[in-house]
Amino acid sequence: MLDISLTDLQHALQNTQRSELRHEGNELVNTSTPDAGAAAPAIAAERVARLADVRLDWRHKAVPATANGTTHRDFLADGPTLGDFQTPLLTLDSAAMRSNADHLAGWCAEHNVLLAPHGKTTMAPQLWAEQLDRGAWGITVANFAQLRVAREFGVRRLQLANSLTDPHAIDWVASVIGPEQTILSWVDSTGTVEVLNRTLEASGSGAVLDVLVELGGLGGRTGARGVDAALEVARAVAVSPHLRLAGVSGYEGSLAHTADVEALGAVRGYLGQMRQLHEQLLADGLYGADQIILTAGGSAYFDDVVDVLSPCISSAVQLMIRSGAYIIHDDGFYRGISPFSRHGSQPFRAGMHGWARVVSQPEPGLAILDAGKRDLPVDEGLPRPQLIGPALGGAMVPLEGAEITAVNDQHCFMTFDAGTSTVRPGDVVRLGLSHPCTAFDKWTLIPVLADADGNQAVVDLVHTFF
């Protein structure tokens, strides 16, 4: 898909050296040996590879009707191209994703930080495998359902960037953790600690869950409000027979949404509080694990996370970022806010595009397209017309001055300059998109092009599990 096929995954993953966090007795320890990946693969490559046996049909809206009944593998063997599909359509760009995955993996290695990509962005085990193959520590998820998907595909190291408060979820986690399955979760209140204690005591499993105390901020989302409140949570964990404090967690992205001076000041101030909390936990001897994790950092401010928190890195303390959108990137929100764009370094590349057909041209300068909210993301900016042509997969030219002004469930309203652009029913428009986190959930299967700007051969199909 990026640079290895589904059938190559098992060999590649089993022969990659990785940094691991695993249980030995009652401790979390870090190991890194040439054989660690072979002994316990980061993901069950054979389960990912079996996706090639999935039979394509009406449940996959991206699939051409002519492919109904064929398998993923057989469909690709016929050499499909973009022109074999219909609109509306979401596609991925293999060249862009490969570049993005390599770029952040290299950056993390250079800065001595771990990467646990947020899997909720794509919910695509095929892409998780690519990230893990490039050295990612594990995969981050957002809820119990996502944990179950990751577990089903054999992801060995998982982080739940949330609190466990559902008794069924707590019992399930307690039943699966062990030497071959690490699951970290977060706690942000003594109430959460009480729920965990009560549920684990009632189950009688004897399991000890590794948790990170989450620091929040006023106006933010979850997280203890302030260092003192977080310390109170940590003390409750420290005396619990069912929990072990393994680090500090947080999400700076809930406190800012731009990259201006005020926003970056808020982000860095918050990260400074995370460092203060960590240092106090060390001083008070509240950590229960020999290997400690500090984790923050989405795809917007990961550079600030590393700048502020990297002085904490030691033989006993690891810094982990959780960027998820980076592998796909976009032509909207992340293109503007990504550190690699803001600092003039090598930027990430947009790895997704929408394709929509003109179904009506009812007024001069107005075209209605056949893609809507059920097909494309709109929460972080509307789609942006880029190219137009008479056929999907055919020659296209820039569509200057056009704009998507509104989006309904199944339609986009596109305005254009009727004096300089010709738009006809049946024409196809390529759309730049914003926010991959709300793009993938609309598609159970997504075609991957070799290169959206060049070779538009379909080189893979990505399956999603939302």
Q: Is the pLDDT of residue 84 over 70?
A: yes
- Name every residue whose Cβ is closer than 8 Å to that of residue 360 and which is 6 or more positions away in sequence: 367, 368, 425
Helix (H, G, I), strand (E, B) or coil at 128: helix
Interval 294-309: pLDDT, tens: 999 999 999 999 999 9
| CA torsion angle 416 419 425 427 (round to 10) | -70
- pLDDT at site 345: 78
Pairing label, strands 224-225, 209-216: parallel
- pLDDT at site 13: 40
Who has greater pLDDT, 140 or 5? 140
Number of other CB atoms surrounding residue 65 within 10 Å? 8
Report which of 381, 419, 382 is spatially closest to residue 400, judged by C-alpha positions.
419
Q: What does the alpha-carbon distance between residue 226 and residue 253 come to, in Å, rounded to a whole number?
A: 17
Interval 420-448: pLDDT, tens: 999 999 999 999 999 999 999 999 999 99
Q: Give the mean pLDDT of 186-201.
A: 98
Q: Give the mean pLDDT of 36-56.
A: 86
Q: What does the alpha-carbon distance between residue 368 and residue 281 come to, in Å, rounded to a whole number?
A: 58
Rg (CA), the chain: 23
Paired tokens of 239: 């005396």
Paired tokens of 140: 């981050």
| Confidence class for position 22, pLDDT limits 50, 70, 90 | very low
**Residue 135 · residue 109 · CB < 8 Å:** yes
Interval 168-193: pLDDT, tens: 999 999 999 999 999 999 999 999 99
- Can you list the domains of the chain with their CATH numbers? 57-92+347-463 (2.40.37.20), 96-327 (3.20.20.10)
Bridge partners of 244, per DSSP, are 210
Interval 128-164: pLDDT, tens: 999 999 999 999 999 999 999 999 999 999 999 999 9
Q: What does the alpha-carbon distance between residue 138 and residue 126 come to, in Å, rounded to a whole number?
A: 14
| Confidence class for position 120, pLDDT limits 50, 70, 90 | very high
- Name every residue whose Cβ is closer than 8 Å to that of residue 1 and which is 6 or more positions away in sequence: 94, 97, 126, 127, 130, 448, 459, 460, 462
| pTM to 2 decimal places | 0.90
Q: Give the mean pLDDT of 351-367.
A: 97
- Name every residue whose Cβ is closer than 8 Å to that of residue 387 and which is 6 or more positions away in sequence: 396, 397, 398, 399, 429, 430
**Residue 213 · residue 245 · CB < 8 Å:** yes
Strand residue runs (E) in 37-115 = 89-93, 114-115
